[in-house]
């Protein structure tokens, strides 16, 4: 306990200055300093194994300051009569009407890899293991199937892509 008291009195002033510098509020700096002291008290048993007690104290202070600012973000309440913003679905989300037919037009192998990996979420390694092929071969199959799906979407549904490769528009096909 005496070692803790000595440690605290040695660094208390520097910790307070540091907290005051970062908060700009003497009362808040004192509150945070008290929280740091309480955390040090709770962990006094582990103080003996520290290489640099000062660095540890400042780390505790920095963590406490971060926690304070993270939880102290102001939140504005929204008025009850605020209308909900209506947004049109992204063009890629509307492709659901076109995708089943285009998938049916792909080869069985392409359809299988697209459905299992891209739509079903199966990892490519698991797909490779299930087919008894290498991961590199599975990745190649996925890439080739995606390329053919993209071409089929462009042809059958007149899908167009923007400069970054995202769906920008298409003509639905029943």
**pLDDT tens series, the chain, 174 aa:** 677 778 788 888 999 999 999 989 899 999 999 998 888 888 777 666 677 888 888 898 999 999 888 887 777 777 888 787 777 666 666 667 777 888 888 999 999 999 999 888 999 999 999 999 999 999 999 999 999 988 888 787 777 777 877 777 766 655
| Residue 142: count of CB within 10 angstroms of its CB | 19
CATH number of 91-169: 1.10.10.10
- Residue 126 is predicted with a pLDDT of 93
List Cβ neighbours of 51 (8 Å cut-off, separation of 6 or more): none
- Output b/e per residue, 93-123; b: 16+ Cβ within 10 A: ebbeebeeebbeebeeebbebbebbeeeeee
Alpha-carbon dihedral angle through residues 64, 70, 71, 75, given to the nearest 10 degrees? 160
Class of domain 2-71 as given by CATH: mainly alpha
Instruction: List the domain boundaries for the chain.
Output: 2-71, 91-169
The pLDDT score that the predictor gives to residue 10 is: 87
pTM over 0.95: no
């Amino acid at each position: 306990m005496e070692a803790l008291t000595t440690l605290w009195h040695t660094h208390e002033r520097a910790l307070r200055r540091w907290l005051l510098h970062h908060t700009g509020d003497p009362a808040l700096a004192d509150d945070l300093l008290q929280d740091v002291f309480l955390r040090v008290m709770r962990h006094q048993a582990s103080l003996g194994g520290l290489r640099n007690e000062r660095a540890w104290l400042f780390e505790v202070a920095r963590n406490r300051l971060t926690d304070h600012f993270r939880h102290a973000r102001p939140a504005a309440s929204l008025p009850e009569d605020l209308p909900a913003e209506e947004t049109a679905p992204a063009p890629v989300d509307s492709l659901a009407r076109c995708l089943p037919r285009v998938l049916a037009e792909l080869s069985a192998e392409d359809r299988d890899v697209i459905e299992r990996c891209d739509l079903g979420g199966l990892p490519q390694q698991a797909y490779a293991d299930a087919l008894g092929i290498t991961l590199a071969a599975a990745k190649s199959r996925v890439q080739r199937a995606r390329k053919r799906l993209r071409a089929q979407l462009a042809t059958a549904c007149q899908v167009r892509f923007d400069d970054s490769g995202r769906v920008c528009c298409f003509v639905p096909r029943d």
